[in-house]
Amino acid sequence: MKKKEKTLYKALWFTGFAGPAAICFVLVMLVPFIYGIYLTLTDWNGISADKAFVGLKNYGAVFGDSAFWHSLGLTVVYSAVSVVLINIMAFALAYLVTSGIKGQNFFRAGFFTPNLIGGLVLGYIWQFVFSRALVTAGQNLNIGFLSSSWLSDPIKAMAALIVVSVWQNSGFMMLIYIAGLTGVPGELVEAGVIDGCGKKQLLRHIILPQMASSFIICLFLSITRCFMTYDLNLSLTDGGPFGSTQMASMYVYQKAFVSKNYGMGQTEAVILFLICAAVSITQVWIGKRKEV
Amino acid sequence: MKKITCLGMSIVMAAMLIAGCGDKKNTQEESGSKQPDTQIGAENTEESTQQAENKEGEEISITLLNTKSELVDQFEKMAQTYKEITGVNIEVVFTSDVVGTHLAERYASGSPYTIMMVDRPDVYDFQEYLLDLSGEDWIKDGGSAYGVTIDGKVYSFPMLIESVGLLYNAQAIEDITGKEFVWSEYNTPEKFQALLDELAAGGMEKPVAVNKEDWSLANHFFGQLYNQQGNSAEGSQAFVDSLKNGETKLVDNDRFNSLMDSFDLLAKYNINGADPLAADYDMNNTYFAEGDVAFWYNGSWVTEVYDKTEKIGMMPLPQKDDSDGANDYLISGASKTLVIDQKYSTPEQQQAAKDFLNWLVYDEAGQSFMVDDCSIIPAFANIDKKVSAPISVAAQTFIRNNATQFWYQTIPGDHGTQVGAAMQKYLSGNIDRTGLAGEVEKYWQGLE
């Protein structure tokens, strides 16, 4: 009897605290996700009220859709370069603003600010920078690679996307690295110094291994963010020039809503999800083994 | 003290939670308790009639989706006036998204607008949700000719007639040539090029602005290929069908080559020529209005160009192949069109929407809104108001003289992105004409 009461008490306690979050999660994540998977089995055009069941036909069709795989390839390249640069940049910044330079709180806030601006706004600002400001500067100062808009050349447009994404995300990752850096136990560092470690050795053998969990979090966050990039892609290049920077999320959107092929677009979204999940899980799994 | 406050607050919160749950339970129990079914039904109908009464007593409110960015202010103002006159509240919403995409989202979430301004292909896509307007008065005055008819029923209200063509800034031209500009004296490629050369020699180095937007390059410029096929809906449809089944090879097609020759000419004198894909629509607008360029391939919807001069007009694009009146007739048609939702709007709202459409056509104030405020060329024969904006005047002259070409507007939504990308590649020199032809053919054949 008493045990039963205790369980009831615990259950109430749990629903009281976790209930609202759990309900939200189920309603806005789980239900749409499952419904989305159902939609991949239909030939819905995104508008009509009737959704004919077509089985696995969409999955077959996706494998024949070379444009989708091309956009996925682009996403992989974009993500790989961005993730590396974001994390190098973020760690460097974090190291800098914890090293006790003057006005470091101001710098912390400054580097973090881009992350507070939404991707859309940011994209439009940078669009102006790339297509007007830099071009004017480049023409007046005779700097060859700046004198034409980066956004009208496929490779430079991709570079522009990466630059902005690094600029936007590194501030956020910096915060996590700062937390990691300040979390390194002082006695370990002191012990290292007593044993005669230089700054480099201290970083390599004590600080970095201690921060493995920060790296796992940052890599995970940056990988998922980059893979799913849509807003920046839309506002900075809009997939242009001539569709050469259209990444997977945007391709999925185009397929579902512009080409009015919702079933197939949804199927591609599911595949994108699977790939993204596989990459992230592998990364976390490898990282966990390195954690101290 | 703190602890007590904490405790107090958690008790209040818990109480609220329980109260909330409790209420739910009560209603569930009530409906669960066995009452005769009929009684419940009766109760429900009673409730709903009460609601309807309430609605009638209150003011009717409808929503209207505007998709023309240049008419945002006009629509807002009109909504105010309309409320003063009729008491009906119109909430005007504007979107710059692709209309079909935007509406697909709204319908997916079950919250569309009462009246929606859409492009013609959207009417076919959304037909199952739209109100049949065949019984309206305005059908006989131009609604059946310009509205979208599906299976004998008219589903859309032609908001306006628009024209696509080459805009010219006559003032800028005359400043250099020193003589009056009459478009019909330059409507062949040779004469047109001679004029461009003359302008270039006279100081206007690059007299043409070319847009890089998908809708402009693919749907409007390249769209001429589908328009100029016998000057009829059937001709255009047959041509598009022959592209789909691969019968037409564009490289050997006269119209395609004639069109691309003219495109090359425009691109040669393009003010954005150094970096054509960095072109900016607003900048082009400014170049044109300021007279930095004399020609801009665009349409009659351009309004903000009259700061410096009113001597601005519109002409067909000069082409080598002048069959189908390509060099004399202006491409015109009802483009944006209004539809009414029947699935999610109440009958009162639908009626209010119909009344609004009638107001536009038959009321002096409605006509004045369309023609005077928005500079719209109306599609209805009963409206004899003349537009005042010079570009619209030029277009209306073509229309009144029946010098118009058919405008094929049933192109699919992704034509813009796909063919637009191909045109951008061509414009920036990444592919040649054969490559362009190949990509366009691939697009159409992929639709089959």
Tokens of B430: 């990444």
B127 vs chain A: nearest CA distance in angstroms?
9
Tokens of B287: 């170049």
- Any bridge partners for residue B331, and if so which? B164, B405
Residues constituting chain A: 292
How would residue B4 be classed by pLDDT, with cut points 50, 70 and 90?
A: low
pLDDT in tens, A105-135: 888 888 888 888 877 888 888 888 888 888 8
pLDDT in tens, A219-237: 888 988 888 888 888 888 8
Q: How far apart are CA B40 and CA B58, in angstroms?
A: 27
Tell me which chain B residues have a C-beta less than 8 angstroms from the C-beta of A259.
412-414
Beta-carbon contacts of B375 under 8 Å, excluding residues fewer than 6 positions away, are: B303, B387, B388, B389, B392
Nearest CB partner across the interface for A254, out of B14, B107, B414 = B414
Residues constituting chain B: 448
How would residue B222 be classed by pLDDT, with cut points 50, 70 and 90?
A: very high
Tokens of A176: 């996590």
Residue B229 near residue B255, CB atoms below 8 Å? yes
Q: Do B100 and A151 touch (CB under 8 A)?
A: no
Nearest CB partner across the interface for B413, out of A16, A240, A258 = A258
Q: How far apart are CA B62 and CA A124, in angstroms?
A: 33
Tokens of B161: 């007639």
Residue B256 near residue B287, CB atoms below 8 Å? no
Mutation pick from A47, A128, A148, A252 vs chain B, by most beta carbons of B within 10 Å, is A47
How many Cβ atoms from other residues are within 10 Å of residue B444's Cβ? 22
How would residue B232 be classed by pLDDT, with cut points 50, 70 and 90?
A: confident
Tokens of A232: 């920046």
DSSP letter at A148?
A: S
How would residue A292 be classed by pLDDT, with cut points 50, 70 and 90?
A: low
Nearest CB partner across the interface for A257, out of B101, B278, B280 = B101
Mean pLDDT of chain B: 82
Model confidence at A30: pLDDT above 80: yes
Model confidence at B39: pLDDT above 80: no
With a CB-CB cutoff of 8 Å, which residues 78-117 of chain B face chain A?
98, 100-101, 103-105, 107-108
- Any bridge partners for residue A278, and if so which? none
Q: How far apart are CA B359 and CA B355, in angstroms?
A: 6
Tokens of A233: 């892609």
ipTM score assigned to the predicted complex: 0.74
Q: Do A259 and B414 touch (CB under 8 A)?
A: yes
DSSP track, A45-57: -SS-S---B-TTH
Instruction: For tokens 């600002």, name the residue.
Output: A125
Nearest CB partner across the interface for A131, out of B104, B278, B413 = B278
Instruction: For tokens 């995104």, name the residue.
Output: A46
User: How many CB pairs (< 8 A) connect A and B?
Assistant: 70
pLDDT in tens, A90-106: 999 998 888 878 888 88
Distance from the Cα of residue B344 to its chain's centroid: 23
**What is the per-residue pLDDT for B41?**
38
Model confidence at A57: pLDDT above 80: yes
Buried b (16+ CB within 10 A) or exposed e, B342-368: beebeeebbebbbebbebbbebeebbe
DSSP track, A171-188: HHHHHHHHHHHHHS-HHH
Measured in degrees and rounded to the nearest 5, phi and psi for residue B332 equal -140, 150
Q: Do B104 and A152 touch (CB under 8 A)?
A: no
Q: Residue B207: which of B260, B169, B261, B258 has the closest Cα?
A: B169
**What is the per-residue pLDDT for B43?**
40
Q: Residue B314: how many CA atoms within 13 Å on its side-chain side?
A: 29
Model confidence at B248: pLDDT above 60: yes
Q: How far apart are CA B405 and CA B316, in angstroms?
A: 10
pLDDT in tens, B103-123: 888 888 888 999 999 988 888
pTM above 0.90, yes or no: no
